[in-house]
Amino acid sequence: MLSYFGILLIGFLVVLVMSAIRILREYERGVVFMLGRFYAVKGPGLIILIPGIQQMVRVDLRTIVMDVPTQDVISRDNVSVKVNAVIYFRVVDAERAIIQVENFFEATSQLAQTTLRSVLGQHELDEMLAERDKLNTDIQNILDEQTDAWGIKVSNVEIKHVDLDESMVRAIAKQAEAERVRRAKVIHAEGELQASQKLLEAAKVLVQQPQAMQLRYLQTLTDIAGEKNSTIVFPLPMDLIEPLLNKLKK
């Protein structure tokens, strides 16, 4: 009879010791409560608790990668788009992450969704597409500030996709094509302007130096003769025609 109670006692002690021992990995911390009140943050390694008096909550300190579900956003220029993102964050204060918020993961997810809609709604569609890095930084700063009270550090935010409907895609394609046409016309006009300026400078040089005009005349004749044309047009120098024109005017 004594041996039976002894076995029960030994078994009870073994269960008691096993329930008192906790092993935390290098990236884990244990938030310990004694009789419902915060006691200490322990770990990593071997942790011994007082069964029935102390309780422990494990907290993972590694960086968490969280997908933000696709959000319907209306931009400042009244364009409806669907946007999703990814957030990188980690717990830096295990005590606050457990005590200050019920579920820090769910709270961060909900805050990320509302912040994404709020920040992107303040910008136009062109800014969403062209200034994504700036938007990422703005969202990260807001989330980091809001989650600081929860002992969470938001290290990075990346907008993954900005999806548009088919009609908006066609409108953007037409806009891009019109922009390319405009740039081509501007470049052509600038080229014509530069060419006219160079021609004007060349004309001024030729007027000041009649000998240069004669050399240009001879070079033109050489070019025409070298092309083996059946018809050759000889340009008549203006210095030969000018005396005749003056007499006719008189």
pLDDT along the chain (250 residues), means of 10: 71 78 92 93 90 91 94 86 93 95 94 93 86 92 94 93 74 73 86 83 69 64 63 59 65
In degrees, rounded to 5, the angle at the alpha carbon of residue 54 between the alpha carbons of residues 53 and 59 is 160
Q: What is the pLDDT of residue 213?
A: 62
Q: What is the pLDDT of residue 242?
A: 65
Q: What is the pLDDT of residue 199?
A: 76
Q: What is the pLDDT of residue 218?
A: 63
Residue 152's φ and ψ, nearest 5 degrees, are: -120, 140
Neighbours of 94 (CB within 10 A): 21
Q: What is the pLDDT of residue 227?
A: 60
Q: What is the pLDDT of residue 152?
A: 95
Q: What is the pLDDT of residue 250?
A: 62
Q: What is the pLDDT of residue 12?
A: 74
Is residue 148 classed exposed, middle or buried when 0-12, 13-18 and 19+ CB atoms within 10 A define those classes? middle
Q: What is the pLDDT of residue 61?
A: 95
